[in-house]
Amino acid sequence: MRTISVSDRNEWLFARGLVNLLGDSPVSLPWVDREAWAFKKDGKLVTVTMPQRAVDIIYLSNQLTTGPQNAFKGSMCWLSGWGMSCEYEGNPGIALYRKFLPVDKHPIDGLGILFDKEEKDDQSAALAVPLVWRWDACMMPEDGSYFVKFSNDECVDIYTKSDHMVDEWMRWLGDYHPEVR
């Protein structure tokens, strides 16, 4: 596991077929979306509501980590934004997520965290943090076959490249009552 800069993270995403629909936005407020990543061509979208029970959060983070192929070859994730009602609620999540980052970096700095194929459980743990705290976060596997975006509206969006992949995700996430959008 290692962190990469925002510019390296963006290059990693571009190489896997994503574009930032907002371009290089000059906005620097942490609660304003500065990124809107999507596939360059005809991406498809599957959405699920974030689960409430802890065991379901862990199960969903595992499912998102491996995808419907139930395989993990590496990935990248990052926090893209958050909103907290008070520090009392958010500080434990910040402390947990910082375990994945260099000491001098803040979780919202946009650093990408690259996970190698041997670090599946670490990736799943990193995804569980924004699921619990309902923070905005993103994840993409090394092969670029899908892209996951969490939002503080308590939805998880999975972008795929084909109708076939939509069908696979619908079956894979059936317990969460996914919707195609």
Q: How far apart are CA 107 and CA 95, in angstroms?
A: 9
> So where are the chain's domains?
2-18+37-180
Helices (H), the chain: 6-15, 54-66, 87-98, 120-133, 163-172
User: Cα separations (Å) of 172 from 29, 76, 98, 175?
Assistant: 36, 21, 30, 8
Tens digits of pLDDT across the chain (181 residues): 999 988 899 999 999 999 888 776 544 444 445 678 888 877 899 999 999 999 999 999 999 999 999 999 999 999 887 766 677 788 888 888 888 887 677 777 778 999 999 999 999 999 999 999 888 899 999 999 999 999 888 899 999 989 999 999 999 999 999 999 8
Q: How far apart are CA 54 and CA 85, in angstroms?
A: 21
Cα radius of gyration (the chain): 15
Q: Considering the entire predicted model, what is its pTM?
A: 0.88
What are the tokens at 161?
Answer: 């490249």
Q: How far apart are CA 88 and CA 105, in angstroms?
A: 20
